[in-house]
Structure 1
Amino acid sequence: MSVILPLLVPLTTAILCLVVPYRTAQRYLSLAGALALLAAGLYLLTQLEDGIQVMQMGNWPAPFGITFVADHLSALLVLVTGVVAVAVTLYALEENDAPRERQGYHALVHFLLVGVNGAFLTGDIFNLYVWFEVLLISSFVLMVLGAERAQLSGGVKYFAVSLLSSILFLSAVGLLYGATGALNLADLATRVEALAPGLRSALAMLFLVAFGLKAAVFPFFFWLPASYPAPPVTISALFAGLLTKVGVYALIRVFTLLFTYETAFTHQVILWVAGLTLLVGALLALAQGELRRILSFQLVSHIGYMLMGLGLLSPLALTGSVFYALNHMLVISALFLVAGLIQRLGGSGVLVRLGGLYRQQPWLAVWFLLPAFSLAGLPPFSGFWAKFTLAAAGLEAGQYGIVAVALLVGLLTLLSMGIVFAEAFWKEPPKASANLEARGWAAQALPIALLALLALGLGLWAEPLLRLSQKAALELLEPSGYIQAVLGVSR
Structure 2
Amino acid sequence: MNALVPLVVIIPLIAAALTLVVGRRRRLQVLISTIGLSAVVVISAVLLVLVDTQGAISVNLGGWEPPWGIVLVVDRLSAVMLLVSALMLLGVLVFATGQGIADGDAETPTSIFHPAYLILAAGLFNAFVAGDLFNLYVGFEMLLAASYVLLTLGGTGARIKAGVTYIVVSLISSLLFLAAIAFVYGATGTVTIALVGERVAELPMGVQVVLCIALLMGFAVKAAVFPLSFWLPDSYPTAPAPVTAVFAGLLTKVGVYAIIRTDSVMFRDVPLQTPLMIVALLTLVVGILGAVAQADIKRLLSFTLVSHIGYLIFGVAISSELGMTATVYYVIHHIIVQTTLFLITGLVERIGGTTSLSRLGGTTSLSRLGGMMKAAPFVAGLFFIGAMNLGGIPPFSGFLGKIGLFRAGVDLGTPLSYVLIVAGIVTSLLTLYTLVRVWNMAFWRRKEEVDDGYESPLLDSLSESPEDDGAVDTKENSALMYVSATGMVGLTLALTVFAGPLYDYAARTAADLSDPANYTELVFPNGLPELEGSAP
TM-score by length of 1: 0.97
> Residue in 1 aligned with 2:11?
9
* Distance in structure 2 (CA, Å) of the matches to 1:125 and 1:323: 25
**Separation in 2 of the partners of 1:441 and 1:347?**
16
Which has the larger displacement, 8-17 or 392-401? 8-17
- Is the counterpart of residue 25 in structure 1 residue 40 in structure 2? no
Report the Cα offset of residue 472 of structure 1.
Answer: 1.3
SS of structure 2 residue aligned to 1:412: helix
Q: Is the 8 A contact 1:370 1:453 kept in 2?
A: no
Contact 2:92 2:484 in 1 (8 A): yes
**Contact 1:381 1:457 (8 Å CA) reproduced:** no
> For 2:314 and 2:110, how far apart are their aligned partners in 1?
43
Secondary structure of 2:238's partner?
A: coil
In structure 1, C-alpha distance between the alignment counterparts of 2:269 and 2:426, rounded to whole Å: 31
Instruction: Evaluate the alpha carbon distance shift between residue 127 and residue 436 of structure 1 in structure 2; reply closer, same or farther with a 3 A threshold.
Output: closer
Distance in 1 (CA, whole Å) between partners of 2:494 and 2:270 is 40
One of 229, 235, 238 as aligned partner of 1:230: 238
In the alignment, is the contact (CA less than 8 A) between 1:483 and 1:489 conserved in 2? Answer: no
**Identity over aligned pairs, percent:** 39
Instruction: Report 1:42-441 matches (<5 A).
Output: 42-48=45-51, 49-96=53-100, 97-263=105-271, 266-348=272-354, 349-398=364-413, 399-429=417-447, 430-431=450-451, 439-441=476-478
Q: 1:477 aligns with which of 506, 514, 521?
A: 514
Structure 1 pair 65/382, CA: closer, same or farther in 2 (3 Å)? same
Structure (1 or 2) with the larger CA radius of gyration: 2
Structure 1 or 2: more helix by fraction? 1
Q: Secondary structure at the match of 1:68?
A: strand
Q: Secondary structure at the match of 1:259?
A: coil
Q: Tell me, yes or no, if the aligned pair for 1:321 and 1:386 is still in contact at 8 Å.
A: yes
Displacement of 1:400 in angstroms is: 0.9
In structure 2, how many angstroms separate the alpha carbons of the residues matched to 1:42 and 1:163? Answer: 33
Contact preservation (8 Å) 2:195, 2:520: yes
Which residue identity does 1:387 align to in structure 2? K
* Aligned-residue offset at 1:47: 1.6
TM-score after normalising by structure 2: 0.89
How many aligned positions are there? 489
Q: CA–CA distance in 1 between the matches of 2:233 and 2:498? A: 33
Q: Give the distance between the partners of 1:179 and 1:11, measured in 2 at CA.
A: 34
1:286 and 1:416 in contact (8 A); partners too: yes
Note if contact 2:22-2:29 (Cα within 8 Å) is conserved in structure 1: yes
Which letter does structure 2 place at the counterpart of 1:256? S
- How many angstroms apart in 2 are the aligned matches of 1:62 and 1:255? 21
Secondary structure of 2:451's aligned partner: coil
Aligned counterparts of 1:44 and 1:299: Cα–Cα separation in 2 = 29
Give the RMSD, CA atoms, in angstroms.
1.6
Q: For each residue in 1:309-367, what CA deviation from the matched residue of structure 2 results, as whole angstroms up to 9, or x when unmatched?
A: 10000001001111111111111111111111111000131111001011121110111
**Alpha carbons of structure 1 residues 224 and 28: separation in structure 2 relative to 1, 3 Å:** same
Deviation (angstroms), 1:460: 2.5
Q: Deviations over 1:174-224 (max 9, x none)?
A: 011101101100111110011111111111111121110111001010100
Deviation at 1:441, TM superposition (A): 3.6
Distance change (3 Å), C-alpha of 1:302 and 1:435: closer
Partners of 1:98 and 1:257 lie apart in 2 by 49
Q: What secondary structure does 1:145 align onto?
A: coil
Q: Deviations over 1:397-429 (max 9, x none)?
A: 112111111111110110011011111101012
Give yes or no for contact 2:99–2:478 (8 Å, CA) kept in 1: no
Counterpart Cα distance in 2 of 1:428 and 1:292: 21
Residues 481, 490 of structure 1: 8 Å contact kept: no
Q: Distance in 1 between matches of 2:238 and 2:476?
A: 25
SS at match of 1:104: helix
User: d(CA) in 2 for partners of 1:209 and 1:153?
Assistant: 24
TM-superposed deviation, 1:488: 1.3
How many angstroms apart in 1 are the aligned matches of 2:134 and 2:36?
Answer: 28
